[in-house]
Chains A and B, each alone.
Chain A
């Protein structure tokens, strides 16, 4: 159910997409529809085996769909795979670098494969424009020092950055990232995201992410959660969270009895016997606090996280639906 199919601001449009693998008895993707706006940051979330990689493989034209339609940058994935490929960059779950080559040779191989520049056997023989672009991107991602090192000597984080440099060389309209931070330590993960956000602003590229690190999707413009090949929730992260998890005010006091009677006196709904949790939908935190006179030891507003929403949704949809 794409809300406004094929509008000019929609760069990816998926409609009733179905994929059933050979010899499988159920559909890996079962009637999925969504769209992605140009320049936005879109996150596709779901547990392992939910169908995320299948959807990304179909959208990047490496896997044939069973039915439905999917267009990327105006090209239908089944009818015009080359048109799709010219307009996308892909960072796969496992690094797809050639370990026998240097970092720059991997980039040079890529631009030649995409027909941007004719392959020359050394960096210094390549056109100046290529050399400048490769150096610029490597600098933005902080790997300029490693540009001429063999890939096998790079760390996991560096390899990821190199793949991003490589995928941006042909100025893609959509950058697909399939669980790009799997296997990276928290510092490298954080580092990579900072760079990606910067790249997104700089290159005006649409980001299509799949991940199971929910905090990475918090800054997405739109999230789509899938389980067992079906969409189970979609919207902005705020919409998804607000629909499923309540915000609440947490209060506690040394004199819990006094606090409890005060809350009852003001007819304020709460859970727990201390600390007390007061739902925030019907009154702002300010109006609650202004009525409480008991000296407080704990006062905090709990904002729901995407992770809580995710656990609730995926937990509720744990039964196969297909």
Chain B
């Protein structure tokens, strides 16, 4: 009872904070708007010739996965901010384990990223991205899996951090290269060997490919757009999530207590 109740409370706190922060809601739409509205449309206009699939839809599905992954990861990192604001004292003095706190945080930030993705979808529809809505509904359960994956990545990043400023400096270096290596904006089937290796080692690659493997399932262009079988992608995402969470939580707990 304690743990479940605590997880729900921690998660609700994150959602409440998001809904009260209009600047953050707006800011969360800016990146996807640039990626889809500017980058996607301009690439489509210039590169569409010779492609058998719609480029804008390709970028849109990539941005969906990237938003879920990145938003949850960034949200988890706010635990470091809580620690600096002294609010963490209230969290860490409660009779619940650190695992419970982290799980609650992942659940809350997943809900936050899901709300943000709804905004991205609405934006996509407004600017006329060719989206098959029933296919988007298939992605609903995946959204939870990818948010969890992003959350576990966030736990690993913040586990040894003691200051928000430090994490804020490191985080862009860890996240932005993933946009390109994961093929959010461009196909990555064919790549020079060193980039290919980096791409296949990038966690976000499997998040993006998982979304596309479901969205394009049964589509004639499946083989051109998707890298791996959805079961393989799902297996990688779940396995790596568990590994990140276990290592990240262990390091985080050690860092908290053994000062």
Residues of A near any B CB (own CB < 8 A): 21-22, 60-64, 82-83, 85-86, 88, 90, 92, 94-101, 105, 108-110, 112-115, 117-119, 121
Contact = CB atoms under 8 A, between A and B. Distances in A.
B20 interface: yes
B201 interface: no
A310 B50 CA distance: 85
Contacts of A83: 95
Interface string B133-176: 00000000000000000000000000000000000000000000
B190 interface: no
A101 B13 contact: yes
A100 B17 contact: yes
Given A101-B13, A113-B91, 5 more contacts: A64-B258, A98-B90, A109-B13, A113-B9, A114-B2
B89 interface: yes
Given A64-B257, A98-B13, A101-B13, A114 B94 contact: yes
B2 A119 contact: no
Interface string B66-88: 00000000000000000001111
Interface of B: 1-6, 8-10, 12-13, 16-17, 20-21, 85-97, 256-259
B16 A113 contact: no
Given A112-B5, A112-B9, A60 B257 contact: no
A121 B93 CA distance: 23
B257 A82 contact: no
Contact of B8 (A94, A110, A118): A118
Contacts of A62: 89, 92-93, 256-257
A10 B3 CA distance: 30
Nearest to B11: A119
Contacts of A88: 93
Nearest to A118: B5
A287 B21 CA distance: 73
A80 B6 CA distance: 19
B12 A114 contact: no
Nearest to A86: B95
A115 B104 CA distance: 14
